[in-house]
């Protein structure tokens, strides 16, 4: 048989060093073509699907789901296209077949991840077992054990050793400290569902509560058990690990200066209301974030040095805008950016914002979508927060925090009336952006929020 092709974990991002195997999309014995998706991995930035560079039969899965491995590590081996063409059509090897198939031959090379029933059966096929029962002083059991487990029975044994669950369920179980093998599955394919996990958690909580209050029952379980019940341990990896490293690097390497401005955004709210009823924006989600994004792009064009990078030896001013939007996702904070946002119309920018948000929520943001950002907006107002002091995204020199927009008393022409008010917060790298420049930039952003018609000039 021809040699196996080994596929090593590639660097799918900029300087990726490791990734977690989230879920395999193939199993041993599967026939794959070039560019078929083999596995889903989680990098420090996003979830990525890896396509196959080879055609053939899956011979070995070298890494378990949930395991984190370094770039360059062998993760799968695939037999050649000749093996695939020789594979029988129509399912597994028959128990009565006189010759092992190409698929079975390939499976004989899979030592790391569950040797598998069919490969074992192929190797044992030449052996003959006598039907005679050797004499023994011990009375035989009612059902004597078979020296070789039948293929049909062995095929049902292997899946039992593997717990079936989708990646979100596995992550939830890890966060809750639940061993999936302890949970009873109810899924159609025998997989553990989110409902199963929550039911198990409720049962576990009820059992703990049934033993009395925690501090009454804890001594019976010992101090170590008591401590375990009162804390949760969450492994720092993936996006959370990358975010922590980046924020510490930014906070302690770039001298931050922050300023804030209250803005009467009433005309922005009126403009958004008109856009929502416009036929041109039908089916497109429109929010005040759209106007703020356009305002930031406009203000950065008037104050180019806020759209820059500090290298130590030089300041690189960018005459384009890759507008980053900080997004809270189930996997942690991500900052994908809209490439060349300065070239987009208001409608195109609205579509881009919608696509960015839906992709981030689905966990499908790719590393390339988060690379090369030039200035970032963080929309803390979506959570009802008035303002905050944001940390600059590494590689940039400015970030704008958009607070909630709500009715407040406001003095207009000497009268106190209710107006839609928001607070904008900006943080700047003082090595590049001086106080005067940061103030002018924030004033320009505020002017658009107060009068969106300025964008038409």
Dump pLDDT digits (tens) for 122-151. 333 444 444 444 444 444 444 444 343 343
Alpha helices in 73-193 (DSSP H): 81-86, 102-107, 117-124, 151-157, 167-176
Query: What number does CATH give the domain 167-230?
Result: 4.10.320.10
Q: How far apart are CA 174 and CA 177, in angstroms?
A: 5
Q: CA triplet 18, 254, 365: central angle to 5 degrees?
A: 40
pLDDT at 22: 87
Q: How far apart are CA 86 and CA 57, in angstroms?
A: 10
Burial class (CB in 10 A: 0-12, 13-18, 19+), 267: middle
pLDDT at 52: 92
For the record, the structure tokens of 403 come out as 């607070």
Q: Where are the beta strands (DSSP E) in 171-291?
A: 256-264
Residue with tokens 């420049």: 437
- Give pLDDT tens digits for 280-339: 999 999 999 999 999 999 999 999 999 999 988 899 999 999 999 998 777 777 899 999
How many CA atoms does the CB half-sphere of 88 hold within 13 Å? Answer: 12
Burial class (CB in 10 A: 0-12, 13-18, 19+), 188: exposed
Q: How far is CA 133 from CA 61, 130, 139, 149, 195, in A?
A: 40, 8, 11, 17, 50
Residue 456 CB neighbour total at 10 angstroms: 6
Say whether 430 is catalytic. Answer: yes
Burial class (CB in 10 A: 0-12, 13-18, 19+), 202: exposed
Question: What SS3 class is residue 93?
Answer: coil
Is CATH 3.30.559.10 what the domain over 240-456 is classified as, yes or no? yes
Report pTM.
0.55
Q: Is the dihedral of CA 154, 121, 55, 89 positive or negative?
A: negative
- Tell which residue, 334, 289, 317, 340, has the closest CA to residue 429: 317
Q: Which residues contact 393 (CB under 8 A, 6 or more apart)?
A: 246, 250, 324, 326, 335, 373, 376, 399
- Give pLDDT tens digits for 31-62: 999 999 999 888 766 778 899 999 999 999 99
Q: Is the dihedral of CA 135, 139, 144, 148 positive or negative?
A: negative
Low-confidence spans in the chain with pLDDT less than 70: 1-2, 13-15, 44-45, 81-161, 202, 205-231, 236, 238-240, 242-243, 247, 252, 457
Helices (H) and strands (E) in the chain, counts: 13, 18
Q: How far apart are CA 343 and CA 345, in angstroms?
A: 7
Query: What number does CATH give the domain 5-128+146-161?
Result: 2.40.50.100
- Tell which residue, 453, 454, 388, has the closest CA to residue 426: 388
Burial class (CB in 10 A: 0-12, 13-18, 19+), 246: middle
List the domain boundaries for the chain.
5-128+146-161, 167-230, 240-456
> Phi and psi of 375, rounded to 5°?
-160, 145
Q: How far is CA 239 from CA 195, 294, 304, 322, 356, in A?
A: 26, 28, 30, 21, 17
Q: Where are the beta strands (DSSP E) in 178-307?
A: 256-264
Residues 87, 56: contact at Cβ < 8 Å?
no
Across the strands, what pairs with 57?
31
């Amino acid at each position: 048989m021809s040699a196996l092709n080994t596929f090593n974990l590639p660097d799918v991002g900029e300087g990726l060093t490791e990734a977690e195997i989230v879920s395999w999309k193939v199993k041993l014995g599967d026939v794959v073509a070039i560019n078929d998706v083999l596995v889903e991995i989680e990098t420090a930035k996003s979830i990525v699907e890896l396509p196959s560079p080879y055609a053939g039969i899956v011979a070995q899965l070298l890494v378990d789901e949930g395991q984190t491995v370094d770039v360059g590590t062998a993760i799968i081996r695939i037999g050649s296209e000749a093996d695939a063409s020789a594979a029988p059509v129509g399912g597994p090897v028959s128990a009565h077949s006189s010759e092992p198939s190409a698929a079975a031959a390939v499976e004989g090379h899979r030592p790391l991840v569950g040797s598998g029933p069919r490969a074992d059966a192929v190797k044992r096929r030449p052996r003959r077992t006598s039907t005679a029962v050797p004499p023994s002083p011990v009375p035989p059991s009612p059902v004597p054990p078979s020296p070789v487990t039948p293929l049909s029975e062995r095929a049902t044994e292997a899946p039992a050793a593997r717990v079936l669950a989708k990646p979100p369920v596995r992550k939830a179980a890890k966060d809750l400290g639940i061993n999936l093998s302890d949970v009873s599955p109810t899924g159609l394919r025998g997989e553990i569902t989110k409902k199963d996990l929550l039911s198990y958690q409720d049962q576990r909580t009820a059992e703990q509560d049934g033993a009395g209050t925690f501090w009454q029952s804890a001594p019976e379980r010992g101090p170590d058990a008591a401590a375990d019940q009162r804390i949760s341990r969450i492994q720092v990896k993936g996006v959370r690990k990358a975010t922590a490293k980046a924020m510490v690097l930014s906070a302690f390497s770039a001298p931050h200066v922050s300023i804030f401005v209250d803005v009467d955004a009433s005309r922005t709210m009126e403009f958004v209301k008109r856009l929502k009823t416009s036929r041109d924006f039908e089916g497109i989600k429109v929010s005040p974030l759209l106007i703020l994004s356009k305002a930031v792009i406009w203000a950065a064009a008037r104050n180019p040095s806020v759209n820059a990078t500090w290298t130590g030896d030089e300041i690189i001013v960018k005459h384009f805008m890759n507008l980053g939007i900080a997004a809270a996702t189930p996997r942690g904070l991500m900052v994908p950016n809209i490439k060349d946002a300065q070239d987009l119309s208001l409608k195109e920018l609205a579509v881009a914002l919608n696509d960015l948000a839906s992709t981030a929520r689905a966990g499908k943001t790719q590393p390339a979508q988060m690379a090369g950002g030039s200035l970032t907006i963080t929309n803390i107002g979506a959570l009802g927060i008035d303002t905050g002091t944001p940390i600059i995204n590494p590689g940039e020199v400015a970030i704008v925090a958009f607070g909630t927009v709500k009715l407040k008393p406001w003095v207009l022409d000497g009268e106190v009336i209710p107006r839609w008010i928001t607070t904008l917060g900006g943080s700047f790298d003082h090595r590049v952006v001086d106080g005067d420049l940061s103030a002018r930039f924030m004033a320009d952003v505020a002017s658009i929020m107060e009068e969106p018609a300025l964008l038409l000039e």
